[in-house]
Homo-oligomer: A and B are copies of this chain.
Amino acid sequence: MKYSQATDYALHAMLNLVASAPDKPVGVQQLAEKLGVSPTYLSKLMTKLVKAGLIVSTPGANGGYRLRKAQDEISFLHVIQAIEGTASLLECSLDHGDECLIQQVVRDAERQMEQLLASKKLSDVAKRLPATD
């Protein structure tokens, strides 16, 4: 089980936005170049982030993307779920109801992980981002 590569791109793109001036939008071209990804592909991911309410986009000349909220209000979980969705890890076909302990265990485990991911904000890592990124 792995996060899709798209999640990796999204996280790095978001951190690049954090590192940029907050009022100057960053275009997908620049982002794609820094990440070494195809611009058109990255564009679709950015659109997902827009729809998730994490960033805002402005088309036209000097357009691009900028954060919608303060960087200390955007958590890892926000970014990850914007790309990966919020489905549970275990999707059993039969639904034996609430008494199913199997699902409870997995849900609990998910909650544990999500709790930590939600507590970590972009600002927590923005301070010390590897230089070449």
Contact = CB atoms under 8 A, between A and B. Distances in A.
Interface of A: 1-4, 7-8, 11-12, 15, 76, 84-85, 87-92, 94, 96-97, 99-102, 105-106, 108-110, 112-117, 120, 124-125, 128-130, 132-133
Contact of A101 (B89, B108, B110, B125): B125
Contact of A91 (B2, B110, B125): B2
A94 B132 CA distance: 10
**Residue with the highest number of chain B CB atoms closer than 10 Å, among A88, A99, A110, A117:** A117
Contact of A116 (B15, B94, B112): B112
Chain copies in the assembled complex: 2
Given A8-B90, A84-B1, A105 B130 contact: no
B1 A97 contact: no
A102 B89 contact: no
Contacts of A87: 1-2
A58 B78 CA distance: 48
A3 B85 CA distance: 14
A9 B96 CA distance: 15
B132 A105 contact: no
Contacts of A105: 76, 116-117, 120, 124-125
Nearest to A132: B96
